[in-house]
Amino acid sequence: MTHNTPLSPRPHLPGVRRRVLTAAQLESHGVPAADLDAQCRPGGPWQQVLPGVILLHPGPPTSEERLHAALLYAAREPAPCVPAQPSPERPHRPAYPEAMITGLAALALHGFTSSPSLLALDRIDVLVPRDRRLRSTPAVRVVRTPAMPTPRQVTGLPVAPVPRALADAVRELADAEAVRRLLTEAVRFEYCEPAQVVRELDRAKLMSRPHVADAVDSLVAEGRAVAEHRLYEMVREFGLPDPVWNVDVRLPGGPHLGGLDAYWPEQAVALELDTRAPRQGEDALWSEYARKREHLERLGITVVHVTPTKLRDAMELQAAVVRTALMTSGDREPAAYVVVLPR
């Protein structure tokens, strides 16, 4: 066939709504390879945007079409473009098996304002199992993992959870300010907890990069600020007595016992937020927490230990724990006298 050979009529594809399909899906609709080649030649009505992935119109793809094309390219045997009705014998099949959007594109889909828009991204990151034989292209970067996370469905697309998407985005960023903005937004707007992000960064072996370590320091500080705000909200919303906030306690003329986020002196009840970051050494820090708690409880002070996740997901339950500790204080032996100082 020469370029002067007239194009065959565009095939009619009943039931096909999406304008991005794989060559295999088109073949299942009766489009033979020769016709596909003819439709995709220069000046034709279709175009191959990725190996084996066809855009069913001329001109540049939309952001949505780029995302679907990236997933079709990366998926293991994508589902038929007209899915069969699920049944007990034939359960629903994911549209894009073993593939999900990650990195900056995933963050944009999650709603991050500090991530470039999809239109501004030259490349879409896709996450696939480590054993997949798949090459990156100028339009798609293939990211491999030994264990695929459970994807979130965003606008009908499988998208990596925020902590994983952040780690994949940070891996490609050398701009310290851009990294700091992404991590800060993740915590400030409660997309995830700091510990989840740090765990993914550590798993990706990114914590040795100075600009990432610096950004994590800001992340941990931001996470503490968010957790403290939730703590104030818990006391207010559930009608708990006002404690003294952010104090140090010590024995009269004796050693420093440690800092507390909230303390009810009359009931000798202390509350401590656990905002440890995994990179700081969980065993060592937990031992420090445990030693302080044991010392305070030997003095008759009840210590309530709360994590940011518990405050976010089960605030009412945490308020009930504190209220119970306050109400039962009269049943306990009087606590030792301690000096309470602003922290």
Say if residue 158 is in the same domain as residue 258: no
pLDDT averaged over the chain?
Answer: 88
Say if residue 143 is in the same domain as residue 18: yes
* Residue 306 counted as domain residue: yes
Q: What local confidence, expressed as pLDDT, does residue 11 receive? A: 61
Q: What local confidence, expressed as pLDDT, does residue 94 receive? A: 80
Q: What is the mean pLDDT of residues 214-225?
A: 88
Say if residue 20 is in the same domain as residue 164: yes
Residue with tokens 């040795």: 208
pLDDT for 80-137, tens place per residue? 665 545 555 544 568 899 999 999 999 999 999 999 999 999 999 999 999 999 999 9
Q: What is the mean pLDDT of residues 274-287?
A: 60
Q: What local confidence, expressed as pLDDT, does residue 289 receive? A: 74
**Of 8-22, 70-84, 241-255, 282-296, which gets the smallest average pLDDT?**
8-22
Percent of the chain with pLDDT over 70: 87
* Residue 24 counted as domain residue: yes
Inform me whether the pLDDT recorded for 218 exceeds 90: no
* Residue 226 counted as domain residue: no
Say if residue 34 is in the same domain as residue 144: yes
**Of 38-42, 62-66, 81-85, 335-339, which gets the smallest average pLDDT?**
81-85
Q: Residue 328 phi/psi, 5° resolution?
A: -95, 5
Q: Does residue 245 contact residue 261 with C-beta atoms inside 8 Å?
A: yes
Give the residue numbers spanning the domain of 285.
239-342
Give me the number of domains the chain comprises: 2
Q: What separation, in Å, do the N-terminal and C-terminal C-alpha atoms of the chain show?
A: 82
Higher per-residue confidence, 278 vs 317: 317
Contacts (Cβ under 8 Å, ≥6 apart) of 19: 55, 56, 57, 65
Q: Residue 282 phi/psi, 5° resolution?
A: -65, -40
Q: Does residue 20 contact residue 95 with C-beta atoms inside 8 Å?
A: no
* Residue 2 counted as domain residue: no
Residue with tokens 């440690």: 258
Residue 222's pLDDT band (cuts 50, 70, 90): confident
Say if residue 142 is in the same domain as residue 23: yes
Q: What local confidence, expressed as pLDDT, does residue 309 receive? A: 86
CA distance 268 to 334: 8
* Residue 272 counted as domain residue: yes
CA distance 335 to 332: 8
Say if residue 61 is in the same domain as residue 165: yes
Tokens of 307: 């994590």
Say if residue 34 is in the same domain as residue 155: yes
* Residue 175 counted as domain residue: no
Q: What is the DSSP letter of 109?
A: H
Inform me whether the pLDDT recorded for 18 exceeds 90: no
* Residue 295 counted as domain residue: yes
**Of 64-68, 92-96, 195-199, which gets the smallest average pLDDT?**
92-96
Q: Which of 120, 150, 169 is the last residue of a domain?
A: 169
Q: What is the mean pLDDT of residues 3-26?
A: 67
Q: What is the mean pLDDT of residues 76-80?
A: 74
Q: What local confidence, expressed as pLDDT, does residue 6 receive? A: 47
Inform me whether the pLDDT recorded for 5 exceeds 70: no
Q: What local confidence, expressed as pLDDT, does residue 4 receive? A: 47
* CATH assignment at residue 311: 3.40.960
CA distance 186 to 253: 44
What is the pTM (predicted TM-score) of this model?
A: 0.79
Say if residue 19 is in the same domain as residue 103: yes
Residue 318 Cα distances to 233, 324, 331, angstroms: 12, 10, 21
Q: What sign does the CA torsion over 287, 291, 296, 298 have?
A: positive
* Residue 197 counted as domain residue: no
